[in-house]
C-alpha cells in the first residue's frame, strides 16, 4: 500500500512539471519574412523546442490621427520607419518624432514581457538625436498576423486600448537597453514609439535593432491539476493509514 501511494504521488508531480518562463531574442537586423514594407515584417525566434512569432508594422501619429507607414530594413542598423511626409533621405528613415511621431506595433503569437531592446541612433538632419522610447502593452483576441485597422484611427483610441505604458529614457548612444517593467506587463501586443521632444533635444530618433522578451510562466492544465490533487489525496490517505496503524500498535501493547 505504501509503495502504491508513493508511486501515485510521484506520478502526479511528474505530470505537473515545474512552471517556467521562456526567454526569446528577436533580431531585426535581417529583412524578415515579407517583401512588402508597408504591410509589416514577420520574425521568428526559437529557444529549445519552443518558438515565438511576431509581426512588426510601422505607423505615424499625425496630430492625433494614425497613418500606416513603411517599415524599412536597414541591415545591421535594424528597422526604421518612413512616413508619408518623408523621403528617407537625411536620416528620415528612422522612428522619429519630427513631423509626426513614428511607432512600431509588435503583434506576438502569445503573451510576453518586453525585457530589453536595441536602439540604434543616427544623426537626423545633421542634428544628434535623443533616443527616448515610449513603451505600451495590451492584449487582443485577433490573430497575431492579422492586419490591424489603425489607419485613420484617432491615436487616443489606440492609447486607451493599452493596459500599461512606460517611458524608457535614453542618452542618445546606440545600444541595448533593459526595461524594469512590473509583473503585470505581459501582453500579446506592444508598441515601441519615438517619444515626444524633451529638454534641449528637438526630437527622438532611432532604428530598432532587436529585442528580448520572456513568456508567461506555464500554468498547469485542468487535467494536470486533477492529477496533482489525486496525488495529494493518496499522500493524505497514506498518512492517515500510517497513523491508524501506529495507534493500533500502541493499544495492543
Residue 211 shares a structural domain with residue 225: no
Residue 147 shares a structural domain with residue 230: no
Residue 111 shares a structural domain with residue 89: yes
d(CA 89, CA 155): 26
Residue 79 shares a structural domain with residue 54: yes
Residue 78 shares a structural domain with residue 158: yes
Nearest one of 43, 13, 50, 63 to 104, comparing CA atoms:
43
Nearest one of 216, 205, 213, 142 to 174, comparing CA atoms:
205
Q: What is the CATH number of the domain that holds 76?
A: 2.60.120
Q: Given this model, what pLDDT does residue 120 score?
A: 94
Helix axes 2-16, 222-252, angle to 10 degrees: 160
Strands 187-194 and 23-27: unpaired
85-114 burial: b if 16+ Cβ within 10 Å, else e: ebeeeebbbbbbbbebbbbbbbbbebebbb
Lowest pLDDT segment from 10-19, 83-92, 133-142, 206-215: 10-19
More confident residue, 96 or 114: 114
Q: What's the whole-model pTM score? A: 0.78
Q: Given this model, what pLDDT does residue 51 score?
A: 97
131: containing domain: 20-215
Residue 53 shares a structural domain with residue 134: yes
Residue 144 shares a structural domain with residue 238: no
Residue 232 shares a structural domain with residue 116: no
The band of 43, judged by pLDDT with boundaries at 50, 70 and 90, is very high
**Residue 170 is placed in which grid cell?**
535614453
Do 53 and 145 meet the contact criterion of CB atoms below 8 Å apart?
yes
Tell me the average pLDDT across 174-179: 95
Residue 125 shares a structural domain with residue 33: yes
Report CA torsion sign: 123, 125, 126, 129. negative
d(CA 121, CA 21): 31
Chain centroid to CA 63: 27
Name the percent of the chain lying above pLDDT 90.
Answer: 55
Residue 31 shares a structural domain with residue 154: yes
Mean pLDDT for all residues in the chain: 81
The band of 219, judged by pLDDT with boundaries at 50, 70 and 90, is low
Q: Given this model, what pLDDT does residue 24 score?
A: 98
Q: Given this model, what pLDDT does residue 193 score?
A: 96
Residue 197 shares a structural domain with residue 226: no
Per the rule left: phi > 0, alpha: psi between -120 and 50, beta: everything else, 230 is: alpha
Lowest pLDDT segment from 20-29, 30-39, 55-64, 110-119: 30-39
- Is the predicted pLDDT of residue 196 greater than 80, yes or no? no
How many domains, the chain?
2
Residue 42 shares a structural domain with residue 131: yes
Tell me the average pLDDT across 24-31: 94
Lowest pLDDT segment from 73-87, 197-211, 219-233: 219-233
Could you identify the residue written with the cell 528597422? Answer: 79
Amino acid at each position: 500500500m505504501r509503495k502504491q501511494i508513493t508511486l501515485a504521488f510521484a506520478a502526479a508531480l511528474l505530470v505537473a512539471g515545474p512552471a517556467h518562463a521562456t526567454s526569446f531574442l528577436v533580431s531585426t537586423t535581417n529583412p524578415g519574412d515579407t517583401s512588402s514594407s508597408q504591410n509589416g515584417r514577420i520574425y521568428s525566434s526559437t529557444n529549445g523546442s519552443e518558438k515565438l512569432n511576431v509581426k512588426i508594422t510601422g505607423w505615424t501619429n499625425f496630430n492625433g490621427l494614425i497613418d500606416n507607414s513603411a517599415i524599412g530594413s536597414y541591415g545591421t542598423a535594424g528597422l526604421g520607419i518612413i512616413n508619408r511626409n518623408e523621403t528617407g533621405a537625411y536620416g528620415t528613415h528612422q522612428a522619429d518624432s519630427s513631423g509626426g511621431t513614428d511607432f512600431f506595433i509588435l503583434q506576438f503569437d502569445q503573451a510576453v514581457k518586453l525585457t530589453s531592446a536595441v536602439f540604434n541612433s543616427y544623426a537626423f538632419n545633421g542634428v544628434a538625436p535623443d533616443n527616448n522610447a515610449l513603451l505600451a502593452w495590451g492584449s487582443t483576441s485577433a490573430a497575431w498576423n492579422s492586419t490591424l485597422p489603425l489607419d485613420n484611427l484617432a491615436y487616443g483610441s489606440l492609447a486607451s486600448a493599452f493596459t500599461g505604458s512606460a517611458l524608457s529614457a535614453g542618452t542618445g548612444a546606440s545600444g541595448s537597453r533593459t526595461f524594469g517593467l512590473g509583473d503585470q506587463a505581459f501582453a500579446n501586443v506592444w508598441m515601441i514609439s519615438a517619444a515626444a521632444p524633451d529638454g534641449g533635444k528637438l526630437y527622438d530618433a532611432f532604428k530598432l535593432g532587436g529585442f528580448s522578451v520572456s513568456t508567461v510562466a506555464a500554468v498547469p492544465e485542468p487535467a494536470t491539476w486533477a492529477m496533482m490533487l489525486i496525488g495529494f489525496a493518496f499522500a493524505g490517505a497514506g498518512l492517515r493509514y500510517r497513523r491508524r496503524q501506529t495507534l493500533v500498535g500502541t493499544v495492543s501493547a
